[in-house]
Amino acid sequence: GAGVSQSPRYKVAKRGQDVALRCDPISGHVSLFWYQQALGQGPEFLTYFQNEAQLDKSGLPSDRFFAERPEGSVSTLKIQRTQQEDSAVYLCASSLAGYGAYEQYFGPGTRLTVT
């Protein structure tokens, strides 16, 4: 079946621009996660949704980062006034359920380059 998909795969933004990154989780998956992966590093947790509820946004690095999942399926990560330090790969993952169902399936990521 279809896995997690993300779009765009690559995004180049000028410093100060706003960007929106999309994630389509596996159909029926309740949990959705966003991670940020800097070059040469492991993914770092940004935020977590259970259905449409954002239960944890403790990993968002600043108030320029905003995520939503209004209908409990597709999610969008928005970054306002992008800065060079925002350059990274943004990974989305989904899981069948919340706590108790552990395996997270990852999408291919969106590589954001801020110039």
Partner 1 sequence: GESVGLHLPTLSVQEGDNSIINCAYSNSASDYFIWYKQESGKGPQFIIDIRSNMDKRQGQRVTVLLNKTVKHLSLQIAATQPGDSAVYFCAERPDSSYKLIFGSGTRLLVRP
Residue ranges in contact with partner 1 by CB under 8 A? 4, 31, 33, 37, 39-45, 48, 55-56, 59, 89, 91, 93, 95, 98-99, 102-109, 111
Give 5's strand partners.
Answer: 24
* Of 57 and 80, CB closest to partner 1: 57
* Of 22 and 111, CB closest to partner 1: 111
For the bound state, the minimum distance from the C-beta of residue 31 to partner 1, rounded and expressed in Å, comes to: 7
For the bound state, the minimum distance from the C-beta of residue 45 to partner 1, rounded and expressed in Å, comes to: 4
* Of 37 and 80, CB closest to partner 1: 37
For the bound state, the minimum distance from the C-beta of residue 55 to partner 1, rounded and expressed in Å, comes to: 8
The DSSP letter of residue 79 is E
